[in-house]
Amino acid sequence: MKQRTLTGVVLALLSMVLLGCFHLPWVPQLIAILLGCGVVWEILGANGIRNKGSYAAGLFLAVIIPIFSLTGKVWWMAAALVLGLGFFTYLMTRIGKQAPAWVAAPEIVLALCLYRGLACYGEIPHGAFFLCLTGLICALTDIFAYLVGSRFGHKLAPKVSPGKSIEGALGGLGVTVVLIALVFGRFFDDIGTLMLYTAVVSILGQFGDLSMSAVKRVAGVKDFGHIFPGHGGILDRCDSLMYPLAFTWLLYCAQGWIFA
């Protein structure tokens, strides 16, 4: 527990530094590239793929996708979000069955496309604030889902993530919506839109967690890595951000809800 707490403090301080630099040119893209490289390394490792060609191709995509401009190409991110939700839902049905050899390729490509949303926050006014808001929603959902779920529990998806419960998911959602509204409501003209945004991000964050859990279950591994002592790998920490990052940028492009 001490190691986990210390790692959490270090990660929080590092996140604050990165947020402070987020407005600088190319910083959002560089952070997205680093995250993407972690995605490639951990997914290939989880699937037992060791050949250099796969790593070279994956790392090339991890570098090129965040640099690729999405200006005028909103459909590209929208397609990634829809396909990602569909594919990782399919993957949940593969748990307990032998995974086909090709499964790592769509896992990597879709994850990279969705995490590319991080670089898009550089295009959003006050992008660092909205990135902090998105991350906080996902973190609070995770914390309160655990606190509620540890006391009450009808399994949410026992084959995918045995520790998650329906009560925990609903509790994490409800408490997070209320807390975000109370703390950040004064920054928005319409608190109702903020609550709606928080609810959707919370749900997408929980689905992102389940999606990456499905990748691990199909691959037969417990964690994606050990780069963060007590916390696992990069994807173990960033799984819940996968869909919310893409969704928030699409919302900004549509000038909907909180961006209206």
How much is the pLDDT for 137? 96
How much is the pLDDT for 20? 81
How much is the pLDDT for 230? 64
Q: How far apart are CA 220 and CA 98, in angstroms?
A: 10
Q: What is the full per-residue pLDDT of the chain (260 aa) written as tens digits?
A: 566 667 667 677 778 887 788 888 899 999 999 999 999 999 999 998 989 999 999 999 999 999 887 766 789 899 999 999 999 999 999 888 877 778 999 999 999 999 999 999 988 999 999 999 999 999 999 999 988 887 777 888 888 988 889 999 999 999 999 999 999 999 898 999 999 999 999 999 999 999 999 999 998 888 898 777 766 789 998 999 999 999 999 999 998 888 87
How much is the pLDDT for 59? 96
